[in-house]
Amino acid sequence: MNIDRLGRAKRRGSLRTTLFAVALTLGLTGCHGEQPTEWSTLQLARTDKFFSVAHVTGDTFVAVGYAGRILRSEDAGITWADIESGVIWSLNSVDFAGEYGWAVGQSGSVIHSRDGGKTWTKQQADTDKMIMAVTFVDQLHGWACGDESTWMWTDNGGESWNVERMDVSQIGLTNNTSLAVPDIIYYSVQFLDKNTGWMVGEYGNVRSTTDGGKTWGAQHGTLLDELVTQGGVRDVMVMGAFFKVRFSDPNNGVLVGAGGAIATTSDGGQAWHWVAREGSNAAVPALHLYDVSTPGQNGRLVLAGMNAVVLDTDDSGANWSAVETPDGVYTWINSIAFGENGKGVLVGGKGTFMTTSDSGESWQLVGREEGAEESADAH
């Protein structure tokens, strides 16, 4: 655990502390074996933490996490191989454009694969900030975001990364709170093409661009307006963090975040609307929600979060229902990825891996030690 960063989080308040916990117990232990090793249940322990999983091609998936660990599967998550990452830092996010992949994490770490995740090499980004998320639309154009309003972009596949700082949006700031929000942790970024993208993070911030990141607008004003109509105040300090943004097309998007927050848009984010927040919707528990993904079916989404909660919807996020998961799983689920023919993988704490072959309607637990179950924990 990075004590200095945790201390800073505590100074920023209880929510900020929780969010750093969400995003990573940082690993400083050594790398895993140099050669890929076939999966066995003994490779996973309750101390293992996986923060992100991505679909590559076919039935191939790659998961990354604590202490630079990478696992790779070629059979949609049934068996896995341990892959050398070349870094000792925790890896928070992984994304692929075909066989080309990138993973990012602690201390500005960026690594790159050109063979579907079989081998990885380091890339240089001129930052030591925590990088929380990465997204690529092709083999050249990618973006990443993280701590202290840091965001990065590349147009040459990461041979060079341009590191910038996002200006703090003034929407929802008051004279009393502007000094309390000097910078933002951005937890998620998604681009649909080389121009159109979104970035979300602390204090309900939703940023958008239509020019590849040359300029960024703010879209969270409509969410603040809805809070006012519900008797609240128009102040970002009452907004929890959004941990994930997911657009299925240029119009339809969903946000998930702290305290069971879900918001949707059907017009590209010009207007966002609350679906749930802090227990306001009986179908959505007031627990942190960390990821939301689409199996590729029209209107269907699956999300996951604390206490192994998994929810799904068939109407683009308007209505949600609980998905049954295997007994004895109480840890946080941090990431979901879907491949082809309804196959998918989700990963989380205590070495938890689950697979689905029906677009997330049911899940099966894979390869965890006997006795790894224990009481519910926070991420």
Model confidence pLDDT, tens digit, residues 54-92: 999 999 999 999 999 999 999 999 999 999 999 999 999
Q: How far apart are CA 161 and CA 208, in angstroms?
A: 20
Domain total of the chain: 1
Query: Average pLDDT of the chain?
Result: 87
DSSP state of 116: T
DSSP per-residue letters across 164-203? EEPPPP-TT--TTTGGG-S---EEEEEESSSS-EEEEEGG
CB neighbourhood size of 106 (10 A): 27
Percent of the chain exceeding pLDDT 90 equals: 76
Contact predicate 206/258, CB 8 Å: no
Residue 374 lies in a domain: no
Q: How far apart are CA 283 and CA 83, in angstroms?
A: 39
Residue 378 lies in a domain: no
Q: How far apart are the first and last CA of the chain?
A: 13
Residue 23 lies in a domain: yes
The pLDDT score that the predictor gives to residue 296 is 83
CATH number for position 336: 2.130.10.10
Q: For the residues 305-333, what does the mean pLDDT come to? A: 94
Q: For the segment 162-176, what is each residue's pLDDT rounded down to a tens digit?
A: 999 999 999 988 877
For 6-10, 44-48, 128-132, 178-182, which range has the lowest pLDDT when averaged over its residues? Answer: 6-10
The pLDDT score that the predictor gives to residue 368 is 53
Q: For the residues 199-226, what does the mean pLDDT come to? A: 97
pLDDT band at 274 (very low <50, low <70, confident <90, very high): very high
Residue 375 lies in a domain: no
Higher pLDDT, 184 or 18: 184
Rounded CA Rg of the chain:
19
List the one residue out of 281, 276, 282, 280 whose CA is nearest residue 264. 276
Residue 218 lies in a domain: yes
Residue 377 lies in a domain: no
Residue 322 lies in a domain: yes
Residue 90 lies in a domain: yes
For 28, the domain range is 3-366
Q: For the segment 349-359, what is each residue's pLDDT rounded down to a tens digit?
A: 999 999 999 99
